[in-house]
Amino acid sequence: MKNIVLFGPPGAGKGTQAEVLKDRYNLIHISTGVVFRFNIKNETELGVLAKKYIDAGDLVPDEVTINMLKDEVNKNPEANGFIFDGFPRTQSQAEALDAFLSEKDAKIDGMIALEVPEDMLVERLLERGKTSGRSDDTDESKIRNRFNEYNTKTAILKDFYEAKGNYYGVDGVGSIEEITTRLSEVFDTL
């Protein structure tokens, strides 16, 4: 089983790359964003709660996110592994993920981070906001708030995974194919 955390700030291309890599390596892609959007669209209890935080440009609380993630993993007991996209976002989430996976005799094999300059990310998100229907992609102040949240709460995970010896930074600028090649070079070593 191979379990990867695909990491990077909003707009770095995690979802796009995860879709390519899941097929290449026969893994299950779990995107917290996709799961949240499904719940929001269907106005589930979780979706209504998550929408309040997302609309404000804030992160959804750990407990809600962790329970949702556990449910997604448990839906796929025969999986060869997972690509976690958008999770974990805090050290407590990373620790909860490690504890949950260890119960299944599994672990995170690597955190692969897409590294992209912030100004380029703002442009990408504003462009995506024209067609995505995501309220948090249409307002630059909300986008900047997401980067602030990322930089203060999430980017510290680099240190967490680096201390374990399984952090890999990858240049996230270029064509989809170029970035996939860079990511695959890391995947193939894990």
Look up 128 and say whether it is catalytic.
yes
Look up 144 and say whether it is catalytic.
no
Which residue from 112, 113, 146, 111 is spatially nearest to 128, judged by alpha carbons?
Answer: 146
Strand 167-171's sheet: what is its strand order? 28-31, 81-85, 2-7, 110-115, 167-171
Task: Check 70, 107, 134, 164 and give the catalytic one.
Answer: 134
Task: Check 22, 37, 51, 89 and give the catalytic one.
Answer: 89
Chain centre distance of CA 171: 16
Structure tokens at 94: 């990373």
Look up 182 and say whether it is catalytic.
no
Task: Check 2, 37, 146, 182 and give the catalytic one.
Answer: 146
Which H or E run contains 134? none
Task: Check 2, 14, 22, 142 and give the catalytic one.
Answer: 14
Task: Check 107, 128, 153, 164 and give the catalytic one.
Answer: 128
Which residues are known catalytic residues? 14, 89, 128, 134, 146
